[in-house]
């Protein structure tokens, strides 16, 4: 039986899992005519790389039995993912999209499409896993974390791969 607190979190998770992708899609239609003082793609690609590293280290710490460090690292991974999202949207609101013109187009688009789809799919997984851990529902946390971790790690790593592949065309 779920507690009232868990039911509230469920509503927030459902709302965010639907609202975030819709808001991001809507924001892509808005162009702001400003020039940013920095070039964001290498920065947001770096946040993806850091997220991947933090996720791996967080899993290592939980396997060593250090729940406190694991929790801190997962919170950092969530923060890095939010930072990535903000920078990514800001870049696309202020810049035209760049087309990939390399010889590995099919590979690039497979990676890009899987990255985009799984970045949407992973939102509720991350939120549910995080909330279960915060609420001390560790068995339920572990059950979903075994799916969340590889999807989240894939999204973080493929974000870096996509950036590396398209970087020459900026």
For range 134-139, the mean pLDDT: 96
* Cβ contacts of 120-126, under 8 Å, gap ≥ 24: 120/21, 121/151, 122/148, 122/151, 122/152, 122/155, 123/16, 123/17, 123/20, 123/21, 124/13, 124/14, 124/16, 124/17, 125/151, 125/152, 126/78, 126/81, 126/152
Torsion, CA 75, CA 81, CA 85, CA 88, rounded to 10? 140
pLDDT one-digit tens code per residue, 89-102: 999 899 988 999 99
DSSP character string of 73-92: HHHHHHHHHHHHHHHHHHHH
Q: Which CATH architecture has domain 38-169?
A: Up-down Bundle (1.20)
65: region left, alpha or beta (phi > 0 left; psi from -120 to 50 alpha): left
| pTM assigned to the model | 0.92
Domain coordinates of the chain in residue numbers? 38-169
C-alpha–C-alpha distance, residues 95 and 93, integer Å: 6
Confidence of residue 61 (pLDDT cuts 50, 70, 90): very high
How does the average pLDDT of the chain come out, rounded?
A: 95
Q: What is the pLDDT of residue 1?
A: 79
């Amino acid at each position: 039986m779920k507690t009232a607190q868990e039911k509230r979190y469920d509503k927030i998770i459902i709302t965010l899992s639907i609202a975030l992708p819709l808001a991001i899609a809507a924001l892509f239609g808005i162009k702001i005519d400003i020039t940013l003082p920095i070039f964001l793609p290498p920065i947001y690609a770096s946040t993806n790389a850091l997220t991947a590293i933090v996720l791996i280290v967080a899993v290592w710490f939980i396997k060593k039995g250090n729940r406190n460090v694991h929790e801190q690292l997962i919170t950092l991974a969530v923060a890095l993912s939010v930072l990535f999202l903000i920078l990514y949207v800001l870049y696309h609101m202020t810049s035209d999209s760049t087309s990939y013109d390399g010889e590995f187009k099919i590979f690039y688009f497979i990676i890009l499409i899987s990255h985009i789809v799984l970045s949407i799919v992973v939102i509720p997984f991350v939120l549910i896993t995080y909330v279960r851990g915060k609420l001390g529902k560790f068995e339920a946390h572990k059950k979903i974390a075994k799916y969340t971790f590889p999807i989240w790690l894939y999204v973080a790593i493929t974000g870096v791969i996509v950036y590396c592949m398209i970087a020459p065309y900026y």
